[in-house]
Amino acid sequence: MTPKTLQISKRDSIGRILLARPEKRNAIDPGMALELADVLDDFEADAAVRAVLIRGAGGNFCSGGDLAPAPGPEGRRPGSPASVTLDVMNRVYGRAIRALHDHPKPVVALVEGVAAGAGANLAFACDLVYATPSARFCEIFVRRGLSLDCGGSWLLPRLVGLQRAKEIAFFGDWLSAETAREYGLVNALFEPDAIESAVEAKLAALAERPPIALAQIKQSLHRAGALSMTEALQIEAVAQAACTATEDTAEGMRAFVEKRSPKFTGR
């Protein structure tokens, strides 16, 4: 099925996702969340896709959850019964964020303009975030009488530390792109006329890396925060054993000896 709220393409080993509701600054509704999860599942199953890019249409990344009343059983609106909100948050939005966070391939966010609420957390759930200097981020939930969602309570303390996470969430103030970079929420800033080529170069470099090793590295880093050093060492040992059994490790070693760039195939 062709997505209604996303534009999808695959080229040069990169799966590209464009959030395509520019008239609403790409606000995410249940339909978009489900489509995003489906597309990410498709990219995960496609061996030709080595990295994923997410960006927004019309000069903004994502303005957050669409709070306009939505028809149908998937609708989440102010005043909905708690049971309806709980179901939609877990089954719809939760599925999308889990598909993003748990994706075995590197996921890169290119952020222009607004990234607010669920849109900010969508960006922060990606592995790498690159933005233009005019981008703005906001955990706006408290200003709408809402709690954090879309992984914000898990992501923020890990990215910026607990005290700073509380400040960001309690006040719901806008963060400039430079402040977000200073806090560690953004990896780097690029001018508008340079960001596409810069991010494409990052994606091309990721696509050349060994995909099995990247998946193991990502999983190990995600799990390490809840582990002791001994447990982390055990996880690393298992991951390293999985890698050394691959053709990519053999190719990496041959390339080192032969003083050439390796060509990884994902096997």
Query: Binning pLDDT at 50, 70 and 90, where does residue 191 land?
Result: very high
| Cα distance from N-terminal residue to C-terminal residue, the chain | 30
Domains within the chain, CATH numbers bracketed: 6-207 (3.90.226.10), 210-258 (1.10.12.10)
Would you say residue 11 has pLDDT above 80?
A: yes
User: Rounded to an integer, what distance in angstroms lies between the CA atom of residue 149 and that of residue 208?
Assistant: 34
DSSP 146-171: ----TTHHHHHHHHH-HHHHHHHHHH
Query: Binning pLDDT at 50, 70 and 90, where does residue 226 land?
Result: confident
Distances, alpha carbon 199 to alpha carbons 100, 111, 224, in Å: 19, 11, 27
pLDDT given at position 69: 52
Would you say residue 83 has pLDDT above 70?
A: no
pLDDT tens, residue by residue, 1-10: 688 999 999 9
* Mean pLDDT for the stretch of residues 237-265: 89
Would you say residue 70 has pLDDT above 70?
A: no
Would you say residue 217 has pLDDT above 90?
A: yes
Would you say residue 99 has pLDDT above 50?
A: yes
* Mean pLDDT for the stretch of residues 231-254: 88
* Percentage of the chain modeled with pLDDT above 90: 73
* Mean pLDDT for the stretch of residues 232-244: 87
Range from 44-48, 81-85, 143-147, 228-232 carrying the lowest mean pLDDT: 81-85
Would you say residue 95 has pLDDT above 80?
A: yes
* Mean pLDDT for the stretch of residues 189-207: 97
Would you say residue 106 has pLDDT above 50?
A: yes
